Amino acid sequence: MTPPHPLDTFRYCPRCGSAQFEVYDLRAKRCAACGFTFYANAATSTVAVIINRRGEILATRRAFEPAKGTLDLPGGFVDPGETAHEGVVREVREELGVRARAGELLFSLPNAYPYSGHTVHTCDLFFRVHIDEDAALRAHDDASETLWIPLHEVRPELFGLTSIRLGVEKILRMF
């Protein structure tokens, strides 16, 4: 079975509104009326890998779909005009209410993130992130709960998003 085109849900040209918005190649559509070509490039997303001195990883519980109620790692989309380091620090502040310092980029994984009936293709960047471990964490924004989980007790299958689950498996091999 052939997967749908990444712009399958886009039926009209975003420039002129024409219905002649047709598949151009594997990741683009072109408007036959005005010539506008739109590419489905991957969005940048960040993931915070926060491990404390006791060997526990900081996880959150997802407050919203997709995968509502499953485990996650803090993070999210990088905003326009923001670096990936700035984005992961902002996401930690928004979701956990604490200041963070982004460290090294550990690895990246591709992802297909379902949102509003559309698949957003992302490149998820997993950063080692440092926080004050004594700071009071508060779940907010996309997180409904925060949990420190000993690395030896982490169960990747409880993480609802595919790229996060694969990332957690990779983290467990690294640490």
Active site residues: 145
What three-state secondary structure class fits 137? coil
Measuring CA to CA, how many Å separate 129 from each of 33, 43, 92, 98?
48, 21, 9, 12
Alpha helix ranges (H) inside 60-175: 84-96, 162-174
Report residue 81 CA to chain centroid gap: 17
Measuring CA to CA, how many Å separate 167 from each of 65, 130, 163?
19, 18, 6
